[in-house]
Amino acid sequence: MALQHAASGERIALQRGEDDIANFTSIALAKTEHMELIRLIVPKDKPMPEHRVEGEVTLLCLEGEIIVDAHGNSVVLRPNEMMYLIGGEPHGIRANEDAVVLMTILLGPVRTGGPTHTGAGAGQDK
């Protein structure tokens, strides 16, 4: 049976179940043509090896503590901290303590280079 994704305007519960960490239960919460939203469970003893995702990614730590290895650096994310990765950037994720992460993947053509700035003050030194 296929997982039912959330519909537009539907409330999504992000808390994990009691056995999610033990069973590495990550679930796709919503998916459209342009975006996928995943509640990712990262147990301390089960790191995600280095991999690539075609689309741009955000990782928002909700619970626990993770380390994201990307761009030749290791960055610690704690609750309410997030990271953005350009599409195709190799990265690995491991947990210092069991963690829950909200991952958003933007689907579509892979962009190259860094972020694009628009609007007032774009490209100006402060």
What is the model's pLDDT at position 94? Answer: 96
The answer to whether the CB of 67 falls within 8 A of the CB of 50 is: no
Residue 123 vs residue 61, higher pLDDT: 61
Q: Please name the residue that has the structure tokens 């049976």.
A: 1
The answer to whether the CB of 53 falls within 8 A of the CB of 105 is: yes
Q: Where are the alpha helices (DSSP H) in the chain?
A: 20-23
The answer to whether the CB of 29 falls within 8 A of the CB of 12 is: yes
Percent of the chain with pLDDT over 90: 52
pLDDT, tens digit, for every residue of 31-82? 999 999 999 989 998 999 999 998 999 999 999 999 999 999 999 999 999 9
Residue 72 CA to residue 75 CA, distance in Å, equals: 10
Determine the distance from the C-alpha atom of residue 97 to the mean position of all C-alpha atoms in its chain, rounded to a whole number: 17
pLDDT, tens digit, for every residue of 1-27? 345 677 777 776 666 566 555 455 778
Residue 126 binned pLDDT confidence (cut-offs 50, 70, 90): very low
